[in-house]
Chains A and B, each alone.
Chain A
Amino acid sequence: MNSNSGYKAFLSDQDVRWCPGCDDYIILRAFARALAAIGLPPERHVVVSGIGCASRLPYYVNTYGLHGIHGRAPAIATGVKLVHPDLYVWVITGDGDALAIGTNHFLHAIRRNLDINILLFNNEIYGLTKGQFSPTSRLDLKTRSSPQGNIQPPFHIGSLVLGADVSFFARVPGNDLNAMTKVFVEAARHKGTSVVEILQNCPVFNDGVFHPVTDKSTAVDHALWVEHGRPLIYGKDGKRGIVRDGCGLRPIRWESEQPPSEVMVHDEKVDNPSYAFALTQLSDPMVFGIIRRMRRPTYEERSQALKQKVAQSAIVHDFIRKAILQENT
């Protein structure tokens, strides 16, 4: 991958204004590197965002960019993509933007399987409005709007998008430049809606919330990286793995040299979303990597097919053909 060189051409001349120590800086760099790796000129990319800390990102990349209104980025991106199906359209959003005020548009874009890439910065808190709990904040979390503790159970993002039959879902830590770059490129290459959940640490309002799964010292025993065709094995000693458990999955440990035969092998292409759903339900280990990637018709493909059908079958009055559509038939 040549993403280490040339990515600076994708950064704009604007001062980046996130808090010191925020993962957003790393995500921005990974994004610019991914754009460089894709290898297309910057005018082929459109970056659309809503409102929130993450949504400032379009100003910092040298592409076409539209900073929209709260929660509506997937809807705005839909219009861009339908006019120009050959453009790469990116939605930059956060847990408040995509899962509170904009849940509707977020899920409908996924349902339609529009070929867009949604990068969801999940920091489990409202940052820009300064520290209220969000739809992904954990129970009992004390925030400025829940001084006695949060009583609203959180969404599991992966489970939610799988309910809308997402065709690409990946999870990455917001501090892992290389992993993010790689997954962003795969998301772009995927035909259909790609959702990438980025666990992004907010150093000001929710510091350390992902520490066990994103810090190198602890992640090895609490994070499971999946890869298509590889067994679900993790742990310092490689003696931890995932097996089936009724309708779900559960972690096991073993002492023998060889892993038990019931340890599962990752398959990102299964049609039935239950397996991917079970992976997203695990919290220890937390699953990272491309959890689901399968092909189903995109909205644009269906629209194209429909247009051909309409061209053949629509009954259009002579008056309209001649006077309005200026056809000579």
Chain B
Amino acid sequence: MSQLPSNSSTESSVTRIVLHIAGDSGDGIQFAGKQLTIASAHRGYAVITMPNFPAEIRAPKGSLYGVSGFQMHVGSTDIHTPGDTIDVLVAFNAAALKKALPDIPEGKIILADEDGFNPSNLKKAGFTSNPLTDGTLDNYQLITAPISKLTRQALIQTGIHSKLTQRSRNMFVLGMILWMFDLSLEETIAQLQQRFKDVPEIAQANIAALKAGWNYAETVELLQPLHLPIQENENTNAGQYTIAHGYEACVWGLLAAHKEAKRPLFFASYPITPSSDILQYIGNFLSEDVEVFQAEDEIAAIASAIGASFAGAIGTTSTSGPGFALKSEALGLAVMTELPLVVIDAQRAGPSTGMPTKTEQSDLLQALYGRNGEAPLIVLAASTPANCLEYAYWAVKLALEHITPVVLLIDAYLIMGAQRLEASALKKLPPIAPHIVSEDTTEYAPYLRNPNTLARYWAFPPMQGKMHRIGGLEKEDVSGHVSYDPENHHKMVQLRRQKVERVQQVIPPLQTEFADTGELLVLGWGSTYGSIKAAVQYLYEKGHAIGHAHLHFLHPFPKNTEQILRKFDKIVVCELNDGQLHRVLQSTFPGMKFWKYNKIQGIPFKEHELIEAFQKILTSEYSPVQHNSSS
């Protein structure tokens, strides 16, 4: 492992740190994590965060399966992933330590609340003796403190109700971490005052605990502050950047496109993990021309979105794997009627119910082909939490300009992850010109097409003189009348295919990062962007002619895809599935050889496993034996 990069150390040269906070699901871990993220970004650091919730709603206290974790990769250099291994662990109890320990290299920092290591908690975590005192952690920098007790004492002094003390423990710890990371309290205090403005007692308790934690860290000298250099060009001006979770970025992308296209936005969904966050968040933006509808099921969600599109709105819906399957028939209707529609699929481990909270990229083939009949549509994929905004925007743009359904693939990892998003990213978004029939068209034919794009012209009620009837039955070219004519059907199938293929003319070309020609091209799509980039960067800096290309447009592929692929001796396709893009590439570019590297464990790639895999491929002759993640 020594030749591989380590995220950091506590040496002064450290530029990035992976922090992991873990405790019971009721300990306020995610809230503390969110505040820490905001404070870090405010300081000018780059951050990527990743929560890890238990599947249970309220798991028994102190249990291993009830551990809620929050990981943050923070620093002054480019950060692409939430981090492979942990530099600083904050453990609220024994179970939290037990779960995180395998990911902490020796020598790293463990900060533990000794009150969370009572005999009952130790037993639940499966420890036979107390790891804080039995020597288990001798090779780590162990710092223990009676955090529960200290929080209680701090709050008693301020005269605050004792019931609030246990719940304020997360703020005491946050105070300690903020001190350790050399971050100021001001931003967090302002956030707490805003968040709890209707319950001043809770705001007061949280702020008192936060300050007490900060003061404790400063006083006891157990900790050493970790000074991360600030990146000069990071913008710390509030309003110019924000922290974006994937689900928020999706919503902002839809809203930005709605503003740009000047069409009403209709969003309908049915709760399903992990896509529900989008449904929950978008409700904050209800307005005269933004409608949010929680439907009775997945089918009603997409069907109502289709109805909205027929009525002139941007029909959108979100779902995850099993729900995406339920939407198949209606998606076929959108293909047949040629209506603008956006379906966001937050993929999770399947098949069937699978592992609902775990990430996977296994809905690609379903998105491309999972409908009856010949039913092509546009498929996009975002690759970072922040660029969910850009691709949600593109999904709306392509739907409205080509009058056709678009599937945007994201996944559990993207939707829950968070990173900085700069306001400047919005300035780079292209304009949107919905393909609406011109008002002075007198003889409206619903399937008359734009000769360049083959998109039909969108007309909707209550436009005068543009009344038309469309539906799932095959229709006559141009007129749209129901038709069973054999030649017409053949023609319409091809027109629908060509219309989607011509989108190639307007989408950005595929880019390569690091080497743009040479030994090995690593090709990925979706949420694996960060891990692949980090691994390729490492090998490139070691002198290999290795490049990284990431597909955001999966159907159709960018025009220059083959040209890029041919610039490298070897190509490896990395995916969190059993080789779905690999299969598509093999059939799209017959005769080309693609290696593959796959992982189907419900978790993202680690940087070091990719480095090892790429090193093997770089030094191997081509062999039909495929490399797969095993372990």
- Interface of A with B (CB < 8 Å)? 12, 14, 41-46, 48-49, 51, 58-59, 62-69, 72, 75-84, 86-87, 104-105, 108, 303, 306-307, 310-311, 314-320, 322-326
Contact = CB atoms under 8 A, between A and B. Distances in A.
Contacts of A84: 311-312, 461-462
B472 A75 contact: no
Nearest to B427: A323
A316 B473 CA distance: 44
A87 to B, nearest CB: 6
B239 A319 contact: yes
A67 B296 contact: no
A6 to B, nearest CB: 16
Interface stretch (B298-306, B531-539, B561-569, B611-619): B298-306
Given A72-B299, A79-B315, A325-B255, A314 B284 contact: yes
B2 interface: no
B311 A58 contact: no
Contacts of B433: none
A64 B337 CA distance: 13
B578 interface: no
B283 to A, nearest CB: 8
A62 B467 contact: yes
A319 B241 contact: yes
A82 B312 CA distance: 11
B274 to A, nearest CB: 22
B286 A75 contact: no
19 contacts: A43-B462, A43-B465, A58-B469, A58-B471, A69-B303, A72-B300, A76-B310, A78-B303, A79-B304, A79-B310, A80-B308, A80-B461, A82-B304, A83-B312, A310-B285, A315-B194, A318-B238, A319-B242, A324-B256
Contacts of B252: 320, 324
A321 to B, nearest CB: 9
A307 B304 contact: no
Given A43-B463, A314-B284, A78 B304 contact: yes
A75 B269 CA distance: 12
A41 B283 CA distance: 34
Interface string B260-298: 000010101000000000000001111110010101110
Interface string B301-327: 001111111111101000000000000
B464 interface: yes
A80 B284 contact: no
B183 interface: no
Given A69-B330, A72-B330, A83 B284 contact: no
Nearest to A320: B252
A75 B308 contact: no
B395 to A, nearest CB: 16
Contacts of A49: 471
A14 B288 CA distance: 37
Given A43-B463, A79-B311, A311-B287, A325 B259 contact: yes
Contacts, number: 182
Contacts of A320: 242, 252, 255
A76 B303 contact: yes
B423 A319 contact: yes
Contact of B468 (A41, A44, A65, A325): A65
A48 B312 CA distance: 15
B17 to A, nearest CB: 26
A100 to B, nearest CB: 14
Nearest to B253: A324
A51 B472 CA distance: 9
B470 A67 contact: yes
Contacts of B470: 65-67
B160 interface: no
Contacts of B464: 41, 43
Contacts of B304: 75-76, 78-79, 82
B305 A67 contact: no
B469 A68 contact: no
Interface residues of B, number: 61
A44 B311 CA distance: 11
Contact of A64 (B259, B306, B332, B467): B467
Nearest to A321: B239
B431 to A, nearest CB: 14
A323 B249 CA distance: 12
B333 interface: yes
Interface string B229-247: 0000000001111100000
Contacts of B299: 72, 75, 105
A105 B307 CA distance: 14
5 interchain residue pairs of minimum CB distance: A67-B471, A79-B307, A65-B469, A79-B304, A75-B303
Contacts of A80: 307-308, 310-311, 461
Contacts of A68: 303, 306, 333, 471-472
Nearest to A43: B462
B359 to A, nearest CB: 26
Contacts of B285: 310, 314, 316, 325
B399 to A, nearest CB: 15
A78 B467 contact: no
B436 to A, nearest CB: 15
A72 B156 CA distance: 60
B295 A75 contact: yes
Nearest to B469: A65
Contacts of B337: 66
Given A43-B464, A43-B467, 14 more contacts: A64-B462, A66-B469, A69-B472, A75-B307, A79-B309, A79-B310, A81-B307, A84-B461, A104-B297, A105-B300, A310-B285, A316-B284, A319-B238, A320-B252
Contacts of A43: 461-467
B301 to A, nearest CB: 8
Contacts of A76: 303-304, 306-307, 310
Contact of B308 (A83, A307, A318): A83
Contacts of A58: 469, 471
Given A83-B264, A320-B252, A78 B307 contact: yes
B300 A44 contact: no
A307 B471 contact: no
Contact of B423 (A45, A314, A315, A323): A323
A203 to B, nearest CB: 23
B329 interface: yes
Contacts of A324: 252, 255-256, 259, 426
Nearest to A71: B299
Contacts of B240: 319
A8 to B, nearest CB: 15
Contact of A67 (B259, B308, B312, B473): B473
A325 B256 CA distance: 7
B584 interface: no
A67 B313 contact: no
B137 interface: no
B481 interface: yes
A63 B285 CA distance: 33
A45 B464 CA distance: 11
A322 B238 CA distance: 11
Nearest to B238: A318
B370 to A, nearest CB: 16
Nearest to A107: B296
A185 B266 CA distance: 29
Contacts of A69: 303, 329-330, 332-333, 472
